[in-house]
Amino acid sequence: MTAQRRHAYLLIEVIQWLFVVGVALSAGYAVVARSLVVQHRSSDWLADDARLRHVLNRLRQDVSIANRAEIVQEDMPILVLRQADRDVRYLHRDGAVVRLEGGQSSQPIEHIWKLDRCSLRWSVEQPPGGSALVWAGITQTVRAEDGPDPLVYRYATAARVGTAPAREDTP
């Protein structure tokens, strides 16, 4: 009878250890899976922010070397930055910001930035007695993990037309 009891206790201990190991493995898997989701999400946010920063830097450079800025109202507003030898146009197309650069005789060069969480709106303000001011309004949407409603951030940046040479050359 004692041998049967010993086997029963051993069986119970083995079942307990299997349960403890299973719980530990499940918890470890959940921690690793969660950290991978957070890492993927944060890398997406960082990539979106880098693209937005790149668009704004390029816009600031173009505004600083332009002679004149205006908004052309077609089906969607197009920001036109005029220089003596070329025009640079910024517009929205298919959820992306498109920069078209073209001279008098050349085919326009197009650069596209796909902004997933952001949208841009621009306006031109002409103060009396000064050079034009180009405003870029930015709206960023961040979906919260624990709620159905996204967080929306709105802010603006401005650059004055023809005030300073461009600092860096970004494509």
pLDDT in tens, 89-136: 898 888 888 999 887 667 788 888 888 888 888 888 887 777 888 888
Q: Angle at Cα 119 formed by Cα 114 and Cα 125, nearest 5°?
A: 125
User: 1 pLDDT band (50/70/90 cuts)?
Assistant: low
What is the residue whose two structure tokens read 């979106």? Answer: 48
For residue 65, give Cα distances in angstroms to 69, 72, 86, 110, 142: 11, 19, 11, 19, 34
Please say whether the beta carbons of 115 and 92 come within 8 A. no
Which pLDDT belongs to residue 41?
79
pTM of the model: 0.71
Instruction: Summarize pLDDT for 45-87 with one digit per residue, the tens.
Output: 888 888 888 988 998 888 888 888 888 877 778 888 888 788 8
